Amino acid sequence: MNYAEIKTTDIANGTGVRTSLFVSGCTHHCKGCFNEETWDFNFGSPFTEDIQDMIIESLKPDYVTGLTILGGEPMEIINQKALRPFIERVKKELPDKTIWIYSGYLWEELNDKNNKRCHSDDTDFILSMIDVLVDGEFKIDLKNISLRFRGSSNQRVIDVPATRESGAVVLSKYGE
């Protein structure tokens, strides 16, 4: 997997101060995407062990709330393969840090075991380790700059642990 950018003091992509990892590769190609260069899976630089170590170090200060993974599309099958062990490492080494993922795939699509476009052996594990999923493709005709943590009104900010517990989508208070 390649990544396009890492922001170590990001306050735009989730609550508090976060480290944000922008992965490369996306097949959604949303009209009006703010990050079109990340559609190319070969864009950017390799997501190496050294880069992972640097991200872990950036998450250690007390003032850093957590990690946000966006892109591109983190939940493309090929990206899930690289992200699963990294997310596992973050949770093991820094269990108090929250993890947010932005995905153009809907919660329902990610949980559909028959959806071979975005569901793999890694999907359930990744979803079990994250705190918030911002789901849904960006829709230019639904763009609303006043929304918190999302670009268009069709996108949802999902409380993943509550959703997994209830069996129905529970929206996060952070999306209000």
Question: Is there a contact between 38 and 22 (Cβ–Cβ < 8 Å)?
Answer: yes
Query: Token match 């973050």: residue?
Result: 90
2-10: strand order across its sheet: 45-46, 2-10, 17-23, 64-70, 98-103, 132-135, 156-159
pLDDT digits (tens, 9 = 90+) for 89-130: 999 999 999 999 999 999 999 999 999 999 999 999 999 999
pLDDT at 155 over 80: yes
Instruction: Output phi, psi for 102, to 5 deg.
Output: -100, 125
pLDDT for 156: 97
Domain boundaries, the chain: 2-175
Q: What is the β-pairing status of strands 98-103 and 132-135? A: parallel
Pairwise CA distance, residues 18 & 9, whole Å? 6
CA-based nearest residue to 121, from 94, 150, 165, 81? 81
Q: Which CATH number fits domain 2-175: 3.30.70.360, 3.20.20.70, 3.40.50.1240, 3.30.2350.10?
A: 3.20.20.70
